[in-house]
Structure 1
Amino acid sequence: MQTIMIVEDDPKIAEHLQGYIQKYGFQAVKVTDFHAVMDTFHAHSPDLVLLDINLPSYDGYYWCRQIRKESICPVIFISARIGEMDQVMALENGGDDFITKPFSAEVVMAKIRSQLRRTYGEYASKAQERVLERDGLKLFPERLEMTYQANTVSLSKNEADIIESLLDRYPRVAGREDLLEKLWDDQSYVDENTLNVNITRVRKKFQQLGLPDAVETVRGTGYRLNVSWPAGGKR
């Protein structure tokens, strides 16, 4: 059963959407803590998100950007805002569609089914999956996986983006500012330690593959992939 996550702070609208979605055989999960939307996202791994723009604390644009760091699941904005720029902002921040309030529940369901077909079903892209490889190490960016020999590790979206940058830049250095720009749209809101934490996580993923020294720190500049393992063999 596919799961739809509803991010709507008007309880009556959220209840109405949940009941209607469940009527058509989907699981519908409502967000109740609007300061921790991603906690609900991680707990349920939804196949599609219905997202309001006007929300407590952070707006829907912000939460859509957070989702896009980790997932390509469809995001449909539902909002009372009817301006053309609001719709443009929704799409530019990672949304797939926009529905204005008041809305028809039938239209919402039609758009949900359309996005699910396009992403997972008969209309899903059949394009060949990307694979980045270097001396036996393989990164599958869309699958969020990395393999070496017979071992495989799962990655977060941020981890996959960092490793992709390291592979793309090799043997050059991937600068800290370049990595921050790739991972986050607005660097001014990123704590200096945030990248360090993500690099530490990336190193742990390489360690799980038996490659403990794969990420080299270039002091004052950034990071470089340290390809010192024999291709296809053990260190």
Structure 2
Amino acid sequence: MRRDVHRSGRVWSEQALRVIADTSEALVTACAPGAEARWPALYAKSRTDGDRSMRTEALEALITGEWELASGAWQDTELLLWKPPTGWFSINAFFAPGPGGAWRLRNWYVNFEHPTTRTDSGLDTFDLIVDLVIDPDLSTLTWKDEDEYAHVRRLGIITDTEHQAVDEARAQSLAMLEERRGPFKDAAAWADWRWDPAWPAPRLWQPVQGAERPLSG
């Protein structure tokens, strides 16, 4: 289970994932339609209604620390996610049905977020809004949600320390792309990856109350 945990200690989101590989270099997980999730209710409604202003309202709730989570499920895409243990970003490959219904790599996606903290149920991090979208052939880059990132910076939701870490992570991820390191080294193999239909949709881990704690090491 991947959780976004705000610095107040409150959980912002939860996403059930399947572990594909766990090495000293990175934790690789996957997701597919039907995987269980919990998101801020306003954020979920903004996606359903296509109302981006409601998404902004959801982000502003981070100031007050008051939000409700709504249960949901991953939809439309399959996801393969590469997360280095100390990195302020993850590299994601999104797959979607193409012509004829065959699944294929839709795009790469660099998500800027806190380094990983391991827990009994999986990993904790926190999304830092801005993202980098990369075409399947690695030729074209597009920065995403820069406006929202600037907004939450003004509100103080993202601190100066976090902002500096994001700037460094931007440079690191671009260098990885340029030098074909990490998942980009095996881009063809990643593009050929497919979710096994025999795998059940990931379900959220339900801890006994008070049992959740970080793992040592």
Same-fold status (TM-score > 0.5): no
Q: Of Structure 1 and Structure 2, which has the larger fraction of its residues in strand?
A: 2
Q: Of Structure 1 and Structure 2, which has the larger fraction of its residues in helix?
A: 1
Return the TM-score normalized by structure 2.
0.29
Q: Which of 1 and 2 has greater Rg?
A: 1
Q: Which has the higher contact order (CA 8 A, sep 6+)?
A: 2
Return the TM-score normalized by structure 1.
0.27
